[in-house]
């Protein structure tokens, strides 16, 4: 089976073709970073308009790269949520239209399931069961994955997601967008022990997260320098902030592994590319002789390949889209139908 995947949930237009025998045979990605950079964050209306401009040309390019005709495609997978309503509608309506014109099924895909399954695109895919830490701009979740398609939510952020906290912290410090890479780059030259940043909610039971207070603490620390912050001050604040986020995530992951008696920890989503996070979690799983699993950096951010792969699994299970175009800006991962 050969599936065309379409990703338009936020500020990246991703298209890919995945074959269940040959694997990933073509992919293209267009990032809107330069479009949103001057605003310091994603402007939903601009994002939607740019998806309209870029999506069909990217589909043509991917088909050409794969040396495919529409008749060679067996199904279309598209991100139906979570995400920005307008951006999701662009991908969903395009996919449904092509589905009808080409006479092939379409299937809606959950964006975070796409991230969760991205490591399965690697040469040595992980085995189940496992605990997954999903960390992106919009989500921070711990999920117990019994098998592909069977998910139990263990904990999630009660306010800002980790990636969102990175972006907002970078903006308040006058750093460039996107904030995650900017903070990580600055932190590399900083002293992560200079300031005593809190580790939110680690003294409470449970596996939920909260990063809004940490963001406020960072702002107060920055403003406490009375507008005279040097480049080194900024680097130290970035390093302390990053360390606080990473250690908070690590503490919760340790609890989740203990609670589920799992030794496999999978991390996925844009923040999973953070090298400091990977290094700390490697140490955590090492304490239990466990295994840390993640995708290559190109598959951590939003992309069409993960949607094509997740959609292929859903199509194989006989799941397809309804005739009307439906998207879900909010969509709990644990409400997905199981895969046979």
Residue by residue, pLDDT tens for the chain (340 residues) are: 999 999 999 999 999 999 999 999 999 999 999 999 989 899 999 999 999 999 999 999 999 999 999 999 999 999 999 999 999 999 999 999 999 999 999 999 999 999 999 999 999 999 999 999 999 988 999 999 999 999 999 999 999 999 999 999 999 999 998 999 999 999 999 999 999 999 999 999 999 999 999 999 999 999 999 888 999 999 999 999 999 999 999 999 999 999 999 999 999 999 999 999 999 999 999 999 999 999 999 999 999 999 999 999 999 999 999 888 889 999 999 999 988 6
> What CA–CA distance (Å, rounded) separates 190 from 184?
10
Cα–Cα nearest to 154, from 258, 283, 245, 75? 258
- Predicted pLDDT at 324: 83
Domains in the chain: boundaries = 2-117+299-335, 127-294
Q: At how many degrees (to 10) do helices 162-172 and 212-223 cross?
A: 20
Q: Is 210 a known ligand-binding residue?
A: no
Q: Is 115 a known ligand-binding residue?
A: yes
Q: Is 136 a known ligand-binding residue?
A: yes
- Predicted pLDDT at 323: 81
DSSP-derived letter for residue 146 is E
Residue 75 β-bridge partners: 3
**CATH of segment(s) 2-117+299-335:** 3.30.420.40
Q: Is 325 a known ligand-binding residue?
A: no
* Topology match between the domains 2-117+299-335 and 127-294: yes
Q: Is 137 a known ligand-binding residue?
A: yes
Q: What is the pTM of this model?
A: 0.95
Q: Is 111 a known ligand-binding residue?
A: yes
Q: Is 124 a known ligand-binding residue?
A: no
From the candidate CATH numbers 3.30.70.20, 3.30.420.40, 3.40.50.300, 1.10.3720.10, the one assigned to the domain spanning 127-294: 3.30.420.40
Q: Is 134 a known ligand-binding residue?
A: yes
Cα–Cα nearest to 276, from 246, 307, 255? 246
> What CA–CA distance (Å, rounded) separates 52 from 265?
37
End-to-end Cα distance, the chain: 17
């Amino acid at each position: 089976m050969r599936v065309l995947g379409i990703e338009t949930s936020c500020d990246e237009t991703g298209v890919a073709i995945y074959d269940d025998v040959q694997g990933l045979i073509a992919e293209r990605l267009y990032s809107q970073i330069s479009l949103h950079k001057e605003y310091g964050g994603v402007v939903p209306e601009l994002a939607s308009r740019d998806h309209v401009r870029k999506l069909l040309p990217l589909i043509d390019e991917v088909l050409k790269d794969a040396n495919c005709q529409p008749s060679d495609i067996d199904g279309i997978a598209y991100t139906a949520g979570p995400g920005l309503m307008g951006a999701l509608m662009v991908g969903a309506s395009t996919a449904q239209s092509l589905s009808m014109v080409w006479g092939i099924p379409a299937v809606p895909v959950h964006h975070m399931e796409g991230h969760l399954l991205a490591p399965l695109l690697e040469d040595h895919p992980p085995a189940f069961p496992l605990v997954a830490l999903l960390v992106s701009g919009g989500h921070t979740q711990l999920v117990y994955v019994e098998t592909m398609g069977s998910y139990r939510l263990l904990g999630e952020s009660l306010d800002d997601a980790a990636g969102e906290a990175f972006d907002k912290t970078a903006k308040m410090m006058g750093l460039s967008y996107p904030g995650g890479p900017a903070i990580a780059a600055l932190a590399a030259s900083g002293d992560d022990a200079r300031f005593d940043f809190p580790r939110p909610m680690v003294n409470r039971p449970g596996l939920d997260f909260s990063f809004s207070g940490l963001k406020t603490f960072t702002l107060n620390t920055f403003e406490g320098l009375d507008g005279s912050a040097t480049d080194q001050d900024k680097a130290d604040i970035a390093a302390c902030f990053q360390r606080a986020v990473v250690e908070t995530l690590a503490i919760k992951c340790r609890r989740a592994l203990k609670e589920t008696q799992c030794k496999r920890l999978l991390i996925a989503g844009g923040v999973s590319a953070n090298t400091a996070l990977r290094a700390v979690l490697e140490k955590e799983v090492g304490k239990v002789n466990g295994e840390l699993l993640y995708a290559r950096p190109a598959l951590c951010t939003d992309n069409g390949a993960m949607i094509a792969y997740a959609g292929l699994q859903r199509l194989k299970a006989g799941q397809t889209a309804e005739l009307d175009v439906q998207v879900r800006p909010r969509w709990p991962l644990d409400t997905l139908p199981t895969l046979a």
